[in-house]
Structure 1
Amino acid sequence: MNKSIRTRPLNIGPLRTFEAVARLLNFRAAAEELHLTQPAVSRQIKALEDELGLLLFERGTRHVALTGAGHQLRAATLPVLAQLDQTVRQMRRDAGRQVIHLTTFPSFASLWLLPRLEAFQRQHPQLDIRISANDQTQDLEAAGFDLGLGYFLQSPRQGRAEALFGEVLTPVHSPARVLRGEQFNLPPLREPADLVGHTLAEEDDDRPANVHAKWRNWLKAQGLPDLEPRRWLLLNFTHQQVQAALSGQAVALARLPLVLPQLASGELIESFGPARRLQTPAQYWLRLSEGAAHKPEVQHFCDWLRAEAEATREALRA
């Protein structure tokens, strides 16, 4: 066997055949599934083994079993083929339509973007929006996104970036919390020191951008760095804290730009009023990939985002 072959990148052509044989452990069944002849399947597996320099299957007269190398390759192959199939399905669905691909973190999608998105879709019914909600910062170009919406302490380096609006923190609770307080003999919320008798919803995330959104940071600004509440309710995401506040379970330290509609409707109450708001160094940013900057549909969407961001800035100043 030519050893130099093994230094080249693996030819992925036979991987689909390998996956079928590994799953079915039967060359004939794999051939039928793939609409190939059994000798063709055997040749592809043999070529793959020659390229690797390793046996992938133990072949008996009545059985086929994966070798250790076969198990390793199958574990690596499954997610690759799954991602490939998903991408192809998406490409086929998108064919002939204008689609805007964006990524943002889950709480921003749930609390700020989605409640406003219907207005854009009414203005541009021909455009489809594909949202990937992820709490990790995505490389826009590498992941195929047109734009990203994120929360950063400073201007992000990837893509064209512009600040949308700043971050302001304020404690919030729901009218249900007032009723629950009367039921369970909780102290009324008149001053920050009253939080000692309440449950505080805390974001259990220590990434640098979230450090400023912690209760300890807000309490320190109120001159209460050592206050201990009745209990802590630790949650992964901002929208979970808001939900805990809406249901009356806790007082949440809310990111004000994300809960303005709930405050306006009375679903949430600003516990100590605007005087206790705290500005943080973080901002919400729009990142635009270089490849999408000149797409008309993306320009329309960005113009709409800027208008919505301006409305949020006006509400924060009010």
Structure 2
Amino acid sequence: MNMLRQRPLSLDVLRSFEAVARLLSFSAAAEEMHLTQPAVSRQIKALEEELGAALFQRGTRKVELTQAGRSLLRAVEPSLGKIDSAVRQIRLSRSRASVSVTTFPSFATLWLMPRLPDFERDHPGADIRLSATDRLIEVDDEELDLALRGCRPEHAPPGAVRLFGDLLTPVIGVRLAEAIARGDAPPLQQPGDLSGHTLVEMDDGSVAAAAQAWTAWLAPLGLEQLTPRRRITMNYTHQQTQAAIAGQGVALARLAMVHDVLERGDLIEPFGAAGRRWSTWCYWLVPLAGGSRRPEVEAFTRWVLEEAALTRQAIGDAPDVDTGAHGD
């Protein structure tokens, strides 16, 4: 075996190859790379010798990729893009203040993102990097500054600060409410009437889904055996909310996530405040290793806690309310 061909390929040579392959011109690639045309030609020739295959068919007026060239380009093009993106991100993080936040998709969509413009307005010099994922995050992850997560109080990690409790409430959209008022849909005046409607809920097999499911809401009313007209199950809370707004059924919403939507009138609580039930979950802010008390992270933390206080006030999460939590 020729050991020479086992050496790693030079990044500069691969950049020259990508430029020639993309522009199909040695002279144009040389101009873009700020090199001479003979220098680029020598790089490509050396690369072909190292690979043992021709990468280009060189004609009098045009250059074309060979099969080997197309194969190499498919690997090189996305790889160079990822490298350049990572370099830009590293340079940006070293030159600008930034806060890296991880949370789950529904919390990001329904609670955090609608409020972010206020923080960005007051802190124009801070970039926000938001990672919306259900993946569990290690508290010593140095790439992240803060986590916004939901769990039972006894499972909250050390240092977690309680934001607010989880208050569940049935909601419907304006379209369904109008259909009920016209008599085009079954009545919805008391919980037992849910049997005539489609129930929308989250079902991803998680512990959270069980705690926030229709069964948990119906059980205290003695209606755990209630059979709805049909069920629609979805992976995320924000999907349930959109389904309810679209008139697809009755969703069991998290009041902390939708009280702004209720205030706008896009969603309606058919049973009013009487239909609200606390779940055993709470939402938490968890400082992570990456934060290291940087000013922008501390400013973001203060802002989240201020917004959370407003949410607690809006949903009636007061100190004398039993939400299943153990306090801040």
Matching of residues 87-236 of structure 1 within 5 Å: 87=86, 97-121=96-120, 124-132=122-130, 134-137=132-135, 144-152=143-151, 154-155=155-156, 161-183=160-182, 185-203=184-202, 205-220=204-219, 222-236=221-235
Matching of residues 1-318 of structure 1 within 5 Å: 3=3, 6=6, 11-48=10-47, 53=51, 55=53, 57=55, 59=57, 61=59, 63-67=63-67, 70-71=69-70, 73-87=72-86, 97-121=96-120, 124-132=122-130, 134-137=132-135, 144-152=143-151, 154-155=155-156, 161-183=160-182, 185-203=184-202, 205-220=204-219, 222-264=221-263, 266-314=265-313, 315-317=315-317
Q: CA deviation at 1:258?
A: 0.6
Q: Distance in 2 between matches of 1:271 and 1:156?
A: 37
Paired residues of 2:164 and 2:283 also in contact (CA < 8 A) = yes
SS of the equivalent of 2:115 reads: helix
Normalising by structure 1, we get a TM-score of 0.76
Q: Distance in 2 between matches of 1:171 and 1:202?
A: 10
Tell me the matched-pair count.
312
Unaligned stretches of 5+ in structure 1?
none
- Residues 206-261 of structure 1 show CA distances to partners (whole Å, capped at 9, x for unaligned) of 45544433334444554444544334445453223223323444221111211122
Q: Distance in 2 between matches of 1:72 and 1:288?
A: 45
Q: CA deviation at 1:84?
A: 3.7
Q: Report the residue type matching 2:77 in the other structure.
A: L
Q: Report the residue type matching 1:270 in the other structure.
A: E
Paired residues of 1:149 and 1:287 also in contact (CA < 8 A) = yes
Question: What is the percentage of aligned positions where both structures have the same residue?
Answer: 44
CA spacing shift, 1:25–1:224, aligned 2, 3 Å: farther
Paired residues of 1:218 and 1:278 also in contact (CA < 8 A) = yes
Unaligned stretches of 5+ in structure 2?
319-328
Q: CA deviation at 1:295?
A: 0.6
Q: Distance in 2 between matches of 1:111 and 1:204?
A: 18
Q: Report the residue type matching 1:198 in the other structure.
A: H
2:325 match: none
Q: CA deviation at 1:126?
A: 4.1
2:322 match: none
CA spacing shift, 1:33–1:247, aligned 2, 3 Å: same
Q: Distance in 1 between matches of 2:80 and 2:221?
A: 54
Q: Report the residue type matching 1:317 in the other structure.
A: D
Q: Distance in 2 between matches of 1:289 and 1:13?
A: 38
